[in-house]
Chains A and B, each alone.
Chain A
Amino acid sequence: MFSHTCPIFLHNYIILMAKITYITHDNQNHTIDVQNGLTVMEGAVQNDIPGIDADCGGGMACATCHVYVKDEWFDKLPAKEDGEEDMLDMAYEPKKNSRLSCQIIVSDELDGLIVNIPSKQG
């Protein structure tokens, strides 16, 4: 819409965001807008959402950004890369719907994504 009338706005002001809901272990809901292209882990860390440690900084090397993805969303996420499942072996209480949040990149398709944060990361 803007692109015809005001292309500068397009470049400078329109940042695409998706709403991501993080539910902490004590059942607190945190719904925030996360910029497309960031990871679900980065969205949590930048917004001070408790329970995601991300010790290795997003390198798929520590399993401390472990989340449970709500079932209805789990199959919509891009498949796990080699190595993510290996790291999940080491996560605290891994389940079938476990993912490393550093490996989930936010996009329009993920608008509304809900993830549960485990009681601890290690």
Chain B
Amino acid sequence: MNKTDALIIGAGPTGLFTAHQLKLIGLDCEIVDNLDKIGGQCIELYPDKPIYDIPAVPECTGEELTNNLINQLKPFDIKFHLNERVDEVKKENDNWIVKTNNGTEFLTPNVIIAGGVGSFEPRKFPVKECENYENKSLFYSVKNKKIFEGKTVSIFGGGDSALDWAVELSNNSTVNLIHRRDDFRGAKATVDKVMSLKKEGKINLFTKYQMTSIKGGNDLESIDIKSDDKEIKTLKTDYVLGFFGLIMQLGPIANWGLNIDKKTVEVDTEKFETNQKGIYAVGDICNYPGKLKLILSGFHEGALAARACFKLARPNEKYRFEFTTSSKTIKDRLGVKGD
């Protein structure tokens, strides 16, 4: 069981800055995120897109912002639990017991939800029967590429994941690459590679096609794909891979007894606390009158929630407001020399 003063759910910009604020005031914290990397939406949705409304930063990309926030956390020792989704939150006396899908457990008086618009999950095929084959012969990510050797693999999608795997698997498998239009959004070099492999007969390319059905018994046998012109082709296939990006789901948070309205969690604007004592929500996932879904708002919300955490984590101490410019205690925490 990991004991901590505060558990942050979500390693996006708001979660990261909230961690900074907690550490500055002398609390420890750990961070859980469902993604395999730090940065949340900034990294997952727009790593290369410029952001123009971070105070005092005229322009930066999602990736630069994330890297700067990680740098800002360097003086502190913060444990990240990536690739883990928080599933359960249970009250025990004055603490919350939090469990992840990997079985990691936390005991903490404070849980800060900085979950953006929920956790990212892969987007799935609209064809319902696909569920029957999921994680057996139909996958939304590749964990072990060896299983595809010598087999036929049908890959759907037009981005880098789909193209990269089509190129990679074409070495040892028969590859069908299916995409809903002629254009690919993957890197140009990869698109060129796919086109040359198509010419060599190593990739069967079907553009302007989408899946309409999936057939087989216990084992997958074939899929039907339909073109814009309503032409249907049946492809024999052993495996199907779908790469349609990620979608955000509120996930298990919905079952924690919080007041939720339109996928956001209601909070007060003093502590950013939810209707459950010791559970806070900050950033895009919280909702209050006048809420703006801006990164800068998340920073403010995290700073106030961190102060609220102090009361529950150190019930016998009094929180004293200090500036980083003048406080010796804070400078010690940051590991910088005083004047």
Contacts and interface: CB of A to CB of B under 8 A. Distances in A.
A62 B45 CA distance: 8
A55 interface: yes
A92 B210 CA distance: 11
Contacts of A93: 126, 210
Contacts of B181: 85, 89
Contact of B117 (A55, A63, A86, A92): A55
A121 B124 CA distance: 11
A63 B244 CA distance: 11
A55, A57, A64 — most chain B CB neighbours (10 Å): A55
Contacts of B179: 89
B236 interface: no
Interface in A72-113: 85-86, 89-90, 92-94, 96
Interface string A44-67: 000000000101110101111000
Interface string B148-164: 00000000011100000
A37 interface: no
Given A89-B244, A94-B180, A57 B45 contact: no
Interface string B16-41: 00000000000000000000000001
Contacts of B263: 53, 55
A53 B123 CA distance: 15
A61 B46 contact: yes
Contacts of A94: 180, 210
Contact of A89 (B41, B45, B158, B293): B158
B75 interface: no
Contacts of A64: 247-248
Interface residues of B, number: 24
Contacts of B118: 55
B183 interface: yes
A25 B337 CA distance: 63
Interface in B229-287: 244-245, 247-249, 263
Majority DSSP secondary structure for residues of A touching B: loop
Contact of B123 (A55, A85, A86, A92): A92
B287 to A, nearest CB: 12
Contacts of A122: 123, 247-249
A61 B180 contact: no
Contacts of B46: 59, 61
B137 to A, nearest CB: 22
Given A61-B45, A85-B183, A89-B180, A96 B228 contact: yes
A55 B248 contact: yes
Contacts of A96: 228
Contacts of A59: 46
A92 B179 CA distance: 14
B185 interface: yes
6 contacts: A56-B117, A89-B181, A89-B244, A90-B244, A90-B245, A121-B247
Interface of B: 41, 45-46, 117-118, 123, 126, 157-159, 179-181, 183, 185, 210, 228, 244-245, 247-249, 263, 293
Interface of A: 53, 55-57, 59, 61-64, 85-86, 89-90, 92-94, 96, 121-122
For the complex of A and B, list the 10 residue pairs with the smallest distance between their C-beta atoms, beginning with the closest. A122-B247, A90-B245, A86-B185, A93-B126, A55-B117, A61-B45, A90-B244, A89-B158, A57-B293, A55-B248
